[in-house]
Structure 1
């Protein structure tokens, strides 16, 4: 009996010692896991109570990613996060070599390019460990020519934030990432209804796209314009109204300097003269050509931004009545005209309600679409359907007759009269004539 009592006491003491040892070793804990699937990658986020101390390695046959969290215990329900993700098949624990270390194993569908990094607390989130799995053989975004052999004008639309990055959060709990996606989807639908225009959604669901990746995807789609949709916020609830932002001159110049120094690698970022810029041994020529492209892109961005301001003021308040220049990562491209549109202040309760309203979202999208349509009707890129079919105009000068104008544009007098609803061949000085397409 005495022996049994001693054994029982030792067992209790061992249990207490083990619990104490575990507590000492496990100063951190994994509280939750979230998975954000995207077309080209999957992001896995582990939420912890402290900054993670971790190591990782990969195993083959089958493909696995093994992560050791030092001085940590796991409180997360690991498999609850996996839904329809095609890349992560299973998350499980395994025995680690070091005491107090939690080993997690991600069983993967195939071999991926892996990026792992910690994130400091921000907003509603505590410390995190982020794992990005990128497809090694990602497919380029498809573009197409229309039935007339002329290409569409491509507009890349970026819905701001996404995934574990909610953006700003309104007083009523509205997430910026959800508002931006809804407006972006409505804008894409309007653009795709117009013959000769094509929208490409850089983010089509609730996932995060890195800023550099946004411009890469826009470039893959051969975008003629990039529009980034956001909702503004401030520490006070008073500010309101929409704004349109373009890249600051200093940021554009610094990006251009970096690219031109490595022009053999980055020639595709510098437009049609890229091959000349890449291969020329004349550094001054390379800089001159690249600078011309950069200046054209910045001027085009500002021109389009003015079109957006003009249309937005018809449907909502404006915070800034002219385009504003700021240093923004998403607008850094030297080859794609780019704007960022702040659709309103989500931190303002009245605007938060409007931004949540589907009708208001549609009005904002319609205003941006009209700006796109108007801008490209006036400035269609060569080789596009809109450039081939747009209505040209001619102002009649002294000494010109209807037959002279018809001969100049290689159209018939009958076509000119029909396009302009003319009942006779008489035209007046200063009269603007629409020039139809030649037969």
Structure 2
């Protein structure tokens, strides 16, 4: 009898569950150099289909058993190839029409919930081949030394979020732009920003863009979080062939690598398929060069704020797996630490971080690439510095350093800014 009652109860409840309506909670868009992404935030994954129409160009998205308030899309206008979004009821569901100003190759996929968002349906409108914005490369000057600067996260992937609401993606893009400006003022060296706006780029695509720009170095900038709010300091990472150098490194790598899942792409299958290729690319000389760059950057960051761990860390960051380019990942600070979050929001502190990274780049170039002629700059004396040590670090003589700064002896005070000839 109890079993019969249970069956009857299920028969009454299941039809109601099956008919549960999916609600679109928000519609968000991001436009980058390669196209536009539209993200629908949903209460559950809907049954859907997508097709295109011509004359005029349109992408049509039909969502079954779904409700969407038209007010969510009324203000969306002129986002790359997307002119506007229209909606209308279609049976028990909704039809979403994307009016375009040019032909586009649409791709759609569902994304499962994560720490930041719930269910999402993503529509990517890719620009036709040949219509992409030109990439800044070294083609105009074969003697130029190119530094690829990668601002982590972007678009629907905010990265870590501080207690005061500071977004990692915003901070690192600001520092990346400041660093690029410093690099571009230096003769013989050029910067390429992998991301120069608030849009998403997959981890693999970031290294592809560095290759396309003929980059000689690759820096990926981040400002991550940790569950202990007291953890603080900058860190610099290189790719590990034999596992993470610390639990912190392992945790951060896992966090950063999850970005491709936010973008709708799983790394798991690709890691298996590319394992042999990545092993072939794991040349000791390139890892050694990455470590040299990381040490130079870490040394300069130590003059700006705390350094976490005091050494170059190693972990399996997906964005560092393009090993024919010396590559490092820099955690500028922990955005989860209230004091460091406050500093990261400061324009002055962002400028100091960019200056430290620039000085680290120059230190590395002077020591490892003597053929690269770099103009002089400034150096702020730190406690424990000696004039001979500063001269050796910048590959100049002590007498030249004295003459450039009007020094009669080797006595220098911490905090003084020296001109490097």
Range of TM-score over shorter length: 0.7 to 0.9
* Residue 162 (str. 1) matches residue 146 (str. 2): no
Which of structure 1's runs of 4+ aligned residues deviate more than 3 A? Answer: 21-26, 78-81, 254-262, 388-391, 418-421
The CA deviation at 1:95 is 5.4
* Residue 316 (str. 1) matches residue 308 (str. 2): no
Structure 2 CA distance for aligned equivalents of residues 150 and 165 of structure 1: 35
User: What TM-score do the two structures reach when normalised by structure 1?
Assistant: 0.70
Equivalent residues in 2 for 1:18-417 (5 A)? 25=19, 27-94=21-88, 96=90, 99-137=91-129, 138-144=132-138, 150-250=142-242, 294-380=283-369, 387=371, 389=373
The CA deviation at 1:83 is 3.9
What is the Cα-based RMSD across aligned positions, in Å?
Answer: 3.1
The CA deviation at 1:215 is 0.7
Q: Give 5+ residue unaligned stretches, structure 1.
A: 1-20, 263-269, 271-286, 381-385, 392-417, 422-439
> Is this contact kept in 1: 2:229–2:337, CA < 8 A?
yes
The CA deviation at 1:84 is 4.1
Q: Give 5+ residue unaligned stretches, structure 2.
A: 1-14, 245-267, 376-398, 403-421
Structure 2 CA distance for aligned equivalents of residues 81 and 176 of structure 1: 26
Structure 1 CA distance for aligned equivalents of residues 115 and 206 of structure 2: 23
SS in structure 2 opposite 1:77?
helix
| 1:125/1:256 CA distance change after superposition, 3 Å | closer
Structure 2 CA distance for aligned equivalents of residues 168 and 70 of structure 1: 34
The CA deviation at 1:168 is 0.8
> Is this contact kept in 2: 1:202–1:214, CA < 8 A?
yes
Could you tell me which residue of structure 1 aligns to residue 395 of structure 2?
A: none
Structure 2 CA distance for aligned equivalents of residues 235 and 261 of structure 1: 35
The CA deviation at 1:358 is 1.1
Structure 1 CA distance for aligned equivalents of residues 318 and 201 of structure 2: 12
The CA deviation at 1:47 is 1.2
SS in structure 2 opposite 1:114?
strand
SS in structure 2 opposite 1:314?
coil
SS in structure 2 opposite 1:216?
helix
> Is this contact kept in 1: 2:106–2:125, CA < 8 A?
yes
> Is this contact kept in 2: 1:140–1:221, CA < 8 A?
no
Farther-moved stretch of structure 1 (293-302 vs 363-372): 293-302
The CA deviation at 1:256 is 10
| 1:52/1:420 CA distance change after superposition, 3 Å | closer
Structure 2 CA distance for aligned equivalents of residues 419 and 352 of structure 1: 40
Structure 2 CA distance for aligned equivalents of residues 347 and 52 of structure 1: 35
> Is this contact kept in 1: 2:112–2:120, CA < 8 A?
yes
The CA deviation at 1:322 is 1.1
The CA deviation at 1:78 is 4.6
Deviation string for 1:53-87 (max 9, x for gaps)? 22212223322211111111112425445244121
| 1:335/1:241 CA distance change after superposition, 3 Å | same
The CA deviation at 1:33 is 0.9
The CA deviation at 1:22 is 12
Greater CA radius of gyration, 1 or 2? 1
| 1:188/1:390 CA distance change after superposition, 3 Å | closer
The CA deviation at 1:248 is 1.5
Structure 1 CA distance for aligned equivalents of residues 296 and 344 of structure 2: 21
Farther-moved stretch of structure 1 (45-54 vs 137-146): 137-146
User: What TM-score do the two structures reach when normalised by structure 2?
Assistant: 0.73
| 1:119/1:256 CA distance change after superposition, 3 Å | closer
Aligned residues: 339
| 1:389/1:304 CA distance change after superposition, 3 Å | closer
| 1:211/1:150 CA distance change after superposition, 3 Å | closer
SS in structure 1 opposite 2:371?
helix
| 1:54/1:251 CA distance change after superposition, 3 Å | farther
